[in-house]
C-alpha cells in the first residue's frame, strides 16, 4: 500500500466517515416503518475505526467484520444499494435478502461474511489469512471485533495460532467498552487488553481517543509488517457507541451508562474534526454526493422484489 498524501487522505477519511454516519442515520429513520426486516446494530460514533483501517488496505486485501458491521462493509467499498436491499430482505441484497444486517457479505470487495455470534468470525478470518500466506502475494486480512469477543475462548486460541504461523492478520479491536449493557469494568479485572496480547509475542498498539489519522497511520505501519512476513499485529482502538446496543434509539436512561460518558466523544467527533480541515466547497460537494447515493440506494431497496418461494432451500447446508 502506497501511503496516501495528506491531500488525498483527509477527503477519503472524511467521505468514509460521513457516508457511514449518514447511511446509519437514514437507517435509524426508516427502521420504525418495518421496511427493514432484520435487527440493526449501528456504528454511529465508531466510524473512525473502520475508515482509518480500510484506508490503509488495498482492494485485494480482505476484511472481516462483526454483526455491527455496516461501517466495515462501507469503508471497504461494499455495494451500498446491495446493503440497503439486504436490510429490506430483497433479492437484490448482497446475500439475496436472506441474511439481513448482521450477515453482510461482499466477496467482490473482499469482504468476508459477518456473523451474529460473538467471536465466531475471528477464526474464520484467520483461516483466510493462512490461505493468503500460502498464496504468497502479500495480501492481508484485517479482522474487526469488539471487546466482548476478547472474553471468548476462541480469541486466545486464535492469537496463539496466528502468532505460531506468523499470519498476515491485522487484529482490530473496536473497544467501545461495552458488551451489550455490561461495562468493561464489570467484566475485566485488567482492562489492558494489549498487555494480554503481547504475551503471545504479537506487536500491539492502543489508540486512546478514536483519532482517525492515528488509526490510519498505525494500520499502515501494521500492514507493512504483515506484508514483510513479520507476523500478526494487534490494534486496540478505543471508541464509543452513541446509540443503543441494537436498534435506532438511545438508551442513556437504561441505567448502565450515563450521557456524561458520551460528551467527550461527541466533542471529538471525527466527522466534524476532519470536515473542519476541508475546503468548504469540497466538503459540500462530498456531502451532496453522499446524500444522492443514499437516496438512490433506498429507492433501489424500495423497488426491489422479495426472493421467490422457490429459493427457500437454496444456499443452505442441509
Q: In this model, does residue 111 exceed pLDDT 80?
A: yes
pLDDT of residue 184: 83
Q: Which DSSP string corresponds to 161-227?
A: HHHHTT--EEEEEEE-SEETTEEGGGT-SS--HHHHHHTTT-EEEEESS--HHHHHHHHHHHHHHHH
pLDDT grade, residue 191 (50/70/90)? confident
Question: Which fold would CATH assign to domain 6-299?
Answer: Rossmann fold (3.40.50)
The whole-number average pLDDT for the span 99-114 is 96
pLDDT of residue 2: 60
pLDDT grade, residue 317 (50/70/90)? confident
The whole-number average pLDDT for the span 58-83 is 98
pLDDT digits (tens, 9 = 90+) for 224-257: 999 999 999 999 999 999 999 999 999 999 999 9
Per-residue cell: 32: 420504525
Q: In this model, does residue 177 exceed pLDDT 60?
A: yes
pLDDT of residue 58: 97
pLDDT digits (tens, 9 = 90+) for 242-295: 999 999 999 999 999 999 999 999 999 999 999 999 999 999 999 999 999 999
* Contact indicator for 277, 10 with CB cutoff of 8 Å: yes
User: Both ends of the chain: CA-CA distance in Å?
Assistant: 41
pTM summary value: 0.96
Average pLDDT over the chain, rounded to an integer: 96
The whole-number average pLDDT for the span 139-156 is 96
DSSP state of 105: -
pLDDT digits (tens, 9 = 90+) for 33-47: 999 999 999 999 999
Domain map of the chain by residue range? 6-299
Amino acid at each position: 500500500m502506497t501511503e496516501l498524501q495528506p491531500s488525498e487522505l483527509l477527503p477519503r477519511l472524511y467521505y468514509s466517515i460521513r457516508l457511514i454516519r449518514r447511511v446509519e442515520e437514514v437507517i435509524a429513520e426508516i427502521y420504525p416503518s418495518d421496511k427493514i426486516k432484520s435487527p440493526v446494530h449501528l456504528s454511529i460514533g465508531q466510524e473512525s475505526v473502520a475508515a482509518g483501517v480500510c484506508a490503509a488496505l488495498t482492494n485485494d486485501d480482505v476484511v472481516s467484520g462483526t454483526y455491527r458491521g455496516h461501517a466495515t462493509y462501507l469503508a471497504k467499498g461494499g455495494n451500498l444499494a446491495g446493503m440497503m436491499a439486504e436490510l429490506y430482505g430483497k433479492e437484490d441484497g448482497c446475500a439475496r435478502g436472506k441474511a439481513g444486517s448482521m450477515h453482510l457479505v461482499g466477496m467482490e470487495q473482499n469482504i468476508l461474511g459477518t456473523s451474529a455470534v460473538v467471536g465466531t468470525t475471528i477464526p474464520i478470518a484467520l483461516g483466510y489469512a493462512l490461505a493468503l500466506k500460502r498464496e504468497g502475494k502479500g495480501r492481508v486480512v484485517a479482522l474487526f471485533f469488539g471487546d466482548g469477543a476478547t472474553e471468548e475462548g476462541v480469541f486466545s486460541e486464535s492469537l496463539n495460532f496466528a502468532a505460531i504461523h506468523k499470519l498476515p492478520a491485522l487484529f482490530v479491536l473496536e473497544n467501545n467498552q461495552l458488551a451489550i449493557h455490561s461495562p468493561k469494568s464489570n467484566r475485566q479485572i485488567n482492562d489492558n487488553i494489549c498487555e494480554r496480547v503481547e504475551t503471545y509475542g504479537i506487536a500491539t498498539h492502543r489508540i486512546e481517543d478514536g483519532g482517525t489519522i492515528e488509526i490510519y497511520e498505525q494500520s499502515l505501519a501494521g500492514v507493512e509488517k504483515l506484508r514483510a512476513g513479520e507476523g500478526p499485529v494487534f490494534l486496540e482502538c478505543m471508541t464509543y457507541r452513541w446509540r443503543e446496543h441494537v436498534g435506532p434509539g438511545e438508551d442513556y436512561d437504561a441505567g448502565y451508562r450515563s450521557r456524561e460518558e458520551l460528551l467527550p466523544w461527541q466533542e471529538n467527533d471525527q466527522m466534524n474534526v476532519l470536515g473542519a480541515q476541508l475546503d468548504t466547497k469540497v466538503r459540500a460537494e462530498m456531502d451532496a454526493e453522499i446524500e444522492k447515493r443514499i437516496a438512490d440506494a433506498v429507492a433501489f431497496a424500495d423497488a426491489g422484489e422479495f426472493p421467490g418461494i422457490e429459493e427457500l432451500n437454496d444456499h443452505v447446508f442441509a
